[in-house]
Structure 1
Amino acid sequence: MLTLALSLGAAACAEPAPDPDDRDQTVELAGYQLVVATATTTPRDAQVQVACPKGTVILGGGFATLDDTGAYLEGTATAMVPSFDGRTWLVNGRNLAGVGSWQLRARAVCAAAPKGYQVLTGITSVDSVPTKQLALACPAGQVATGAGFATVDSTGVWVAGEATYFSPSWDGHAWLMNAQPFRIAQPWALRGWLVCVADGAVAGYQVHTTESALVAGADEQVIGACPGQAMIGAGWGVLDDTYAILTGRATAHEVDYRGRSWLTNAQNHSSFAPRWRLQQRALCAN
C-alpha cells in the first residue's frame, strides 16, 4: 500500500499534544500497549530506556528529540536497540540544535509474544570505511515487526554514530540499514537487530508506504497511518528522484501517543542530489 503525503516542512506539522500527565504512561491499544519514557538533560548526549509490561515484548520502537516545551528539535538517534529478550527498548540520542535543556523520548509498541517471536542480530566487518550497510532477514516463514542499530568499535562497545537509511523491505521479510560514525578514529562496525514473528502471527500485518513529493529543502516530514489499524514499527529512507538511496538523517521517528500513526522527520545530507523525497515504510496490524 502506498500513500503520497503532502509536502510539509518538518516544523509545519506536529504531533497533537497529549495531556502532560500521560506522556510517560502505558497506553492501551486493541491487543497492544504503547510504552513511553522521556529523559530531560542538558548535555548533548542522552540515553533513555523503556520496558514492556510483564508478559509482553517489544514489536517496534522509535525516538524523538524535543525542546523543553515538547516541540521537536534537531537531533538524532545514535543507537536504537531492543534487548535480546525483547523486554526493553533503549535509545541513545544526541541534541544537534545547540539548545540547553532538552528531552530524549523513546516510544515502543508491546504485545504478548506472537508465535515465532525472536530478536535476531547481525554485524558487518570491522574496519575504517566511512559508511556501512547491513541487510538482515527473518527466517523463511517469518516477517519483521521492528529493528534496531548501533555503531560499535572492534570490541563491541558502542560509539556515537547514526543511521543514514533504515527501512524494511516492501514485503516485511527483511530490513536494510546504512550507518556512519560521527568520527572515524578507529575501526568500527554496524550492528543491527531484527524483531521477527511467524507470518500470520500478527493479524492484519501489512507494510504501508508513505512518501513526500520531491522537495528541494533540507527538511521534510511524513506521517503514515493505516486506517483502523495499529502501528507496530516503521523505517525510513531519503531517496532521489529515481528512488536511489541517499545519505539521510532522521531527526524524529516515532509512533504517535495513540499508536495510530507514525511520524518521521528527516534531512537530506547528499549535496549532489538537491531534489529528494522522504519515504516511510510502516508496519501495521489489526
Structure 2
Amino acid sequence: MQARATRGRLTRVALAAGMLLSAAAVSQLALAAPATAVTGLTRQTSTGPSNSAAKTQNKACPAGTVALGGGGLVTGATGQVGMDFMLPLTGGTAWSVTGREDATGTGSNWSLTTTVLCAPAPAGYAVVSGSSAWASPSSNWHQVSCPLGQVALGVGGAVNGASISELLLQDLRIDGSSVTVGGSEAEGGFAATWQVQARAICADQPAGYERLLADSAYSSTSTQTVSVRCTPGRTVHGVGAEVVGGEGQVRLTAAHASSTTEVTVSAAEDETGYTGNWKVRAFAICAN
C-alpha cells in the first residue's frame, strides 16, 4: 500500500512538472513571434545648392515614419570634399549629411544629395549611439551593438573635431547585430584631438533579412565604384560602406541607396593621388 501511494505521488509530481514545462515551452513559442515584413518603406532624397562652400543637407522622413538607413552623395570637386557626417538626427525621423572641402579648398562647385530610407517604426526600433574617446591617432574606430536579439538595419557615423576635411569618414560597416564606424586623419595629419561617433539603427529581424556586400577591384585607380543589389523580391533597408586601404588619401564620394533595390559606394583619391592599391566595399541590408 505504501509503495503504491508513493508511486502515485511521484506520478502526479511528474505530470505536474511536465505540464509546467509544456506551459513554459508554449510561452517561449509565443514570445518568438515569426518575423514580419517592414511595410510602407520609401526612399527619400534631397539635393542642395551647387557651390564651393561647406554645407549640410538634411532630409526628413514623411510624418509617422522613421529612418531605417541612409547615406549621401557628393557631385563635383572629386576627391576634395569629405562627407564627415552621415547619420540619423535625434529622434530618428531625418537623415543628415555634411560635406567640407580639404585643406587647400577648391574653386569647383559641388553639391550634396542626402538619401534616407523611411518606414513606420518596425518592432523593436531603436537608435543606439556611442563615441570613441577624444584623442589624436592617425586612425580610429568605434563599435556599438544593438539590444540583445535585434539586428542592425542601418549605420550612421561622423568624425568630429575638424572645421575642414582634415578627418576622413571611411568605414560605415554593418555586422549583423552591431555597427563599426572608422575614420582617419587626412594626408599631412591633424594636430588636434578628434573622435569617431557611431549610431546603429536596430530592430527585430524583419522577414527576408539579408546582409550583402560587394568589393570593387583592389587597384590604384584614382576613382572606384561598386554596387550591390538585393535578392529579387527584397528592398534596401540600410546602407553601409568601407574604404579598404588609402592611408587617409581616399575620400568617400557616395554611400547611398541608388535605388530601392541597390546600394552604390564610390570613393576618390585626394588631389595629390595615392600610389598604393585600395578598394571600396558596399553593404546592403535587404528584407521583404
TM-score, length-normalised on structure 2? Answer: 0.74
What is aligned with 2:153?
Answer: 145
One of 275, 283, 286 as aligned partner of 2:285: 283
SS in 2 for 1:125: coil
Q: Is the 1:66–1:104 Cα contact (8 Å) retained in structure 2?
A: yes
Counterpart CA distance in 1 for 2:280 and 2:159 is: 23
What is aligned with 2:40?
Answer: 31
What is aligned with 1:42?
Answer: 51
Please say if 1:62 is aligned against 2:71. Answer: yes
Q: Is the 2:180–2:198 Cα contact (8 Å) retained in structure 1?
A: no
Please say if 1:263 is aligned against 2:264. Answer: yes
What is aligned with 1:113?
Answer: 121
Counterpart CA distance in 1 for 2:110 and 2:93 is: 26
Please say if 1:179 is aligned against 2:169. Answer: no
Counterpart CA distance in 2 for 1:168 and 1:103 is: 27
Q: Is the 1:77–1:91 Cα contact (8 Å) retained in structure 2?
A: yes
| 1:231 CA drift (Å) | 1.1
Counterparts of 1:60-99 in structure 2, within 5 Å, are 60-67=69-76, 73-74=78-79, 75-95=81-101, 98-99=106-107
Counterpart CA distance in 2 for 1:53 and 1:186 is: 39
Counterpart CA distance in 2 for 1:144 and 1:282 is: 11
After superposition, the Cα gap between the structure-2 partners of 1:233 and 1:193, relative to the gap in structure 1 and judged at 3 Å, is: same
Counterpart CA distance in 2 for 1:108 and 1:166 is: 15
After superposition, the Cα gap between the structure-2 partners of 1:276 and 1:190, relative to the gap in structure 1 and judged at 3 Å, is: closer
User: Could you list the per-position Cα deviations for residues 205-251 of structure 1 after superposition, in whole angstroms to 9, with x for gaps in the alignment?
Assistant: 110111223323122111110133211222122336xxxx9654311
Q: Is the 1:230–1:285 Cα contact (8 Å) retained in structure 2?
A: yes
Counterpart CA distance in 1 for 2:145 and 2:260 is: 25
SS in 1 for 2:217: coil
Q: Is the 1:79–1:162 Cα contact (8 Å) retained in structure 2?
A: no
| 1:128 CA drift (Å) | 2.1
After superposition, the Cα gap between the structure-2 partners of 1:84 and 1:159, relative to the gap in structure 1 and judged at 3 Å, is: farther
One of 216, 230, 233 as aligned partner of 1:228: 233
| 1:149 CA drift (Å) | 1.4
Q: Which has the larger radius of gyration?
A: 2
One of 242, 247, 251 as aligned partner of 1:249: 251
Counterpart CA distance in 1 for 2:109 and 2:164 is: 23
Identity of aligned residues (%): 27
Structure 1 unmatched ranges of 5 or more: 1-28
Question: Of Structure 1 and Structure 2, which has the larger fraction of its residues in helix?
Answer: 2
Q: Which AA in structure 2 matches 1:225?
A: R
Q: Is the 1:238–1:246 Cα contact (8 Å) retained in structure 2?
A: no
User: Could you list the per-position Cα deviations for residues 237-280 of structure 1 after superposition, in whole angstroms to 9, with x for gaps in the alignment?
Assistant: 2336xxxx965431111112x412111112468x9983333222
After superposition, the Cα gap between the structure-2 partners of 1:85 and 1:127, relative to the gap in structure 1 and judged at 3 Å, is: same
One of 203, 206, 210 as aligned partner of 1:206: 210
Across the aligned residues of Structure 1 and Structure 2, the Cα RMSD in angstroms comes to: 2.8
| 1:189 CA drift (Å) | 1.5
Q: Is the 1:268–1:276 Cα contact (8 Å) retained in structure 2?
A: no
Q: Is the 1:76–1:249 Cα contact (8 Å) retained in structure 2?
A: yes
| 1:41 CA drift (Å) | 3.7
SS in 2 for 1:40: coil
Please say if 1:217 is aligned against 2:255. Answer: no
After superposition, the Cα gap between the structure-2 partners of 1:249 and 1:63, relative to the gap in structure 1 and judged at 3 Å, is: same
Counterpart CA distance in 1 for 2:108 and 2:278 is: 32
Structure 2 unmatched ranges of 5 or more: 1-37
After superposition, the Cα gap between the structure-2 partners of 1:173 and 1:95, relative to the gap in structure 1 and judged at 3 Å, is: same
TM-score, length-normalised on structure 1? Answer: 0.75
Counterpart CA distance in 2 for 1:102 and 1:158 is: 18
Q: Is the 1:246–1:268 Cα contact (8 Å) retained in structure 2?
A: no
